[in-house]
Amino acid sequence: MGNRRAVVVSGARTPFVRAFGKLLKVDTIGLGVSAVGNLLAKTELDRTELDGIVWGGVILPGLAPNVGREIALDLKLPYSVEAYTVTRACASGLQAITNAVAAIERGDADVLIAGGSDSTSNAEIKLPQKVVHAMAPLAFGKATPGDVLGVMSQLVPISEILPKRPRIAERTTGQVMGEAAEEMARRNEISREAQDELAVRSHHRAAAAVRSGRFDDEVFAVELPNGDRVHTDDLIRADTSVEKLERLRPVFSKQGTLTAGNSSPLTDGAAAVLLMSEEKAKALGYTPLAAFRSWSYVGVDPGDQLLMGPALAMPFALERAGMKLGDIGFVDMHEAFAAQVLAVIKMIGSKAFAKERLGRDEAVGDVDMEQLNLHGGSVAIGHPFGATGARMVTTVANELARGDKETALLGICAAGGLGAGAVMERVS
Amino acid sequence: MSDFLLELSKNPNARNVIKSLGLPIPMPQALARARGPWEERPLANQKVVVGVSSGAQLAGVIAETLAKAGADPLLAGPGHDEALWQAPGEAYGRPATTLPDPAPERLIAHGVVMDATGLSTPSDLGALHDLFHPLVGRISRSGRAIVLARPHLASGDPARAATQRALEGFVRALAKEIGRRGATAHVIYVDEGAEARLPALLRYLLSNRSAFLSGQPWHLTASAAKGGGTDVEVPITRPLEKKVALVTGAARGIGAATARLLAAEGAHVVCLDRPEDDGPVSQVARELGGSVLLQDVSAPDAGAKIAAALREAHGGVDVVVHNAGVTRDRTLAKMKRDKWDMTLDINLGAVLAIDEALLADGALRDGGRIICLSSVAGIAGNMGQTNYAASKAGIIGYVEALAPTVAARGITVNAIAPGFIETRLTDAIPAVIREVGRRLSNLGQGGLPRDIGDLVTFLASPGAQGLTGRTLRACGGAFIGA
């Protein structure tokens, strides 16, 4: 213990697909089964070596919320492969991974799979609490006709018992996430043009990665119940341009700047990474790709700037790694909205922000836009909430292993005013 | 205790009917009041228009305060130094924008703040008209107008003294003009060297915790040493964490409301009342997690007993709120001596005796607060209240004199003069007189006990270090009084 280091050995994900589209028939467990199954197949890991699964998810199935364990059982992994599931909004996937890293470095485990999945297409429609409470007499034992009548009499007027569609809204403020990002765009003076440019670059870079085969080692087909297979991401648009995006209408506010083109779409998908202690990886003959040098999770007031968390978490992660932004090879940020990424970058570059919010005399630094999201981000690739962290870690680990950069900085914003940051380094 | 007109005015239909019929019924505007404990950003997403006079000295403080409090600043008129607004805007995502001239037709602002410290000659006062004339109708319901000034005698220049003193008259009159829609106006005189004490007061007056205060000058000084001698940052939320507060007369009314608000900001509240009120005072203490001290404040040994009890249970006390008081109203011609004595003993004599005991043995800690309850009756006098008015005016003199003697220890001493507050006391006033009393203020309504509690809480907080030796009216800008 103490000097143990956890390393990323490999990663795999499903294609990221528009919600209510081709993956409609596969729920979050099924998506996780696909990603983990393909990761095991790709790495040819002896299943008895696997200690456990740490999974991240946001829209958890009500009847089986421990998605990680369901994946292990569905894959017929040894029953000894324990599993648990974490939820931290859009940072759930990264949380699962850092939990696994911590467990390995602490000596609790040698080999873990961590990742996450979400199927917005299979979000459960919630019954209002009034209905749940009224139905209580039917929940226990055998109901008499009188019970049934009693229950029915409580369920009027009908408008109060209609099921509610899930919304991506803050529980405490009621603000929809896009409205929060719109607010951040206004308050940080982020222009529509800058957002559209970032979105276009995200699409072009993701498309280039697909074209060059860069993702071939990361994306594996999902088999549908009818035997068909879904092979590729379907949200990336190689042919998009600022001219095309500027024609789109704002969606969250009439005078706003956020459009469907510069926001991340609702997406179905899963991603997983294989983590081992460095010794174990060596013993099993794997070549490690990368390791974590530090991470940080933060919380801010969700009623203020909901998605600014990374502007604090990224500097804190750098500090814990003993590094400055200038030392970092490249940056990978989750693009919930282009506006949110640009607002966070502006904060990080601001001396005034550093002084007031971080208690530092100098700005954290300017993010080199050329070195940001080298292979695209969530605006282009899509954002299955729980899966994004593992997608980013996989792509970053591969980039560190293949490229000439030593370190990378990750940043993820999340609902509830949460933010995550992490520093990853090459293992050589 | 309910105010029929205020309830009626909350009904938009009734409001419209009365307005369109032109009935001569005053319709007071229900005041916006805060819910829950102090927030980090009490002005979240509120527009605040800022104007500056040439040579103004406090714009930087305004910029910082507004951005931190969550307001969106709009800069009106000439003379702004954009550089002052750049950093706070960037740090808090609250960029200042320039207000077009004329202002957009649909603009409604929560507040207008003017830094008038640069006004030096009577002709400079035209800047007041330039800023407020076009905006006075744009101040929202329960909005705020605040003018920042320098003490008029500070410069020794008669012209400048006249000009700075003129601001007080302006604000008092403006308060009457905008009071009908629940909006209030204040002027803050900031001593040289007391600038660092401005943000807390500015934030407080702009927030809806100052709902029932209006038309008042505030004087900020550096005279009271920094609380506890430490150079810690003034806390914005839970300002009374780890403080012990004593509230006398805590069983009901203003005392109970004050105790609740102090506890909500983190203070441990010792609720003091007479032994006969054991039931209600214990209930208050239980509700807010405080403790009970049963003591008749006018007993000869009250001070020593209270000091001993506070020392023993808490090692001392940080905030003392002298709220216990009585009225024994009679015209002087009919007043018996015992009524006179009782009123003066409890309202004035007991306050002095308790403070003497607390200060003598050091039970009141450095950086402490003494907050006394005076009354507008003590400022203006009331028919049938010669005893009460004497006692409450005595409080005014007392805080003035005591404040400088304890300033070096960072202790501040202030009084609050409530106007018409809806309590058991005012409920006992005959209906017609009560109705007149309610309406005779800028805001056209009585205050609530919590309005006094809100001001007590602010004065108790570390941010109020710049206020001492003052009597602050909490009367909605009552027609009577200074």
How far apart are alpha carbons B285 and B289 in whole angstroms? 6
> The domain B227-474 is classified under which CATH number: 3.30.1860.10, 2.40.50.100, 3.90.1150.10, 3.40.50.720?
3.40.50.720
Tens of pLDDT, residues B350-397: 999 999 999 998 999 999 999 999 999 999 998 899 999 999 999 999
Q: Which residues of B touch A352 (CB under 8 A)?
A: 86-91
Smallest CA-to-CA distance from B401 within B368, B438, B445, B355 is with B355
Sketch out chain A's domains with CATH numbers: 177-213+290-426 (3.40.47.10)
Which of B41, B86, B91 shows the shortest C-beta gap to A357? B91
Tens-digit pLDDT profile for chain B (482 aa)? 567 777 777 777 777 777 677 766 667 889 999 999 999 999 999 999 999 998 899 999 999 999 999 999 999 999 999 999 999 999 999 999 999 988 898 999 999 999 999 999 999 999 999 999 999 999 999 999 999 999 999 999 999 999 999 999 999 999 999 998 999 999 999 999 999 999 999 999 999 999 999 999 999 999 998 754 444 578 999 999 999 999 999 999 999 999 999 999 999 999 999 999 999 999 999 999 999 999 999 999 999 999 999 999 999 999 999 999 999 999 999 999 999 999 999 999 999 999 999 999 899 999 999 999 999 999 999 889 999 999 999 999 999 999 999 999 999 999 999 999 988 777 877 888 888 888 888 898 999 999 999 999 999 999 999 999 999 999 998 866 44
**Coil vs helix vs strand at A189:** coil
Residues of chain B found within 8 Å of residue A339, distances taken between Cβ atoms: none
B388 is an active site residue: yes
Start-end ranges of CATH 3.40.50.720 in chain B?
21-31+38-220, 227-474
Q: Which residues, in sequence order, are CB contacts of B82 under 8 Å at separation 6+?
A: B96
- CA B419-B420-B421 angle, to 5 degrees, is 105
Question: Residue A191's CB: how many other CB atoms inside 10 A?
Answer: 12
Contact A264, A336 (CB under 8 A): yes
Instruction: Name which of B41, B47, B90, B233 to mutate to probe chain A: the one with the most chain A Cβ atoms within 10 A of its Cβ.
Output: B90
Which of A255, A300, A304 to mutate: most B Cβ within 10 Å? A304
- Please name the residue of chain B whose CA is at the shortest distance from the CA of residue A359: B91
Q: How far apart are the first and last CA of chain A?
A: 21
HEC-encoded secondary structure of chain B: CCCHHHHHHCCHHHHHHHHHHCCCCCCCCCCCCCCCCCCCCCCCCCEEEEEECCCCCCHHHHHHHHHHHCCEEEECCCCCCHHHHHHHHHHHCCCCEECCCCCCCCCCEEEEEEECCCCCCHHHHHHHHHHHHHHHHHEEEEEEEEEEECCCCCCCCHHHHHHHHHHHHHHHHHHHHHHHHCCEEEEEEECCCCHHHHHHHHHHHHCCCCCCCCCEEEEECCCCCCHHHCCCCCCCCCCCCCCEEEEECCCCHHHHHHHHHHHHCCCEEEEEECHHHHHHHHHHHHHHCCEEEECCCCCCCHHHHHHHHHHHHHCCEEEEEECCCCCCCECHHHCCHHHHHHHHHHHHHHHHHHHHHHHHCCCEEEEEEEEEECCHHHHHCCCCEHHHHHHHHHHHHHHHHHHHHHHHHCCEEEEEEECCECCHHHHCCCHHHHHHHHHCECCCCCECHHHHHHHHHHHHCHHHHHCCCCEEEECCCECCCC
Question: Does the beta-carbon distance from B95 to A350 stay under 8 Å?
Answer: no
The tokens for B476 are 């909605």
- The per-residue b/e assignment along B10-29, b for 16 or more CB within 10 angstroms, e otherwise, is eeeeeeeebeeeeeeeebbb
CB contact under 8 A, A350 and B90: yes
Intra-chain end-to-end CA distance of chain B, in Å: 27
Catalytic choice (B92, B189, B204, B388): B388
Contact status, residue B131 vs residue B112, Cβ threshold 8 Å: yes
Task: Identify the residue among B41, B66, B92 best suited for mutation to test binding to A, counting A beta carbons within 10 A and taking the highest.
Answer: B92
Task: Give the residue on A whose Cα is nearest the Cα of B72.
Answer: A187
* Residues 122 through 161 of chain A touching chain B, CB cutoff 8 Å: none
Pair A399, A425: CB distance under 8 Å:
no
Could A187 and B95 be called an inter-chain contact, meaning their C-beta atoms sit closer than 8 Å?
yes
Contact B44 A304 (CB under 8 A): yes
CA distance B190 to chain A (A): 25
Residues in B closer than 8 angstroms to A187, CB to CB, are: 93-95
What dotted CATH number matches B21-31+38-220?
3.40.50.720
By annotation, the residues of A acting in catalysis are 90, 383, 413
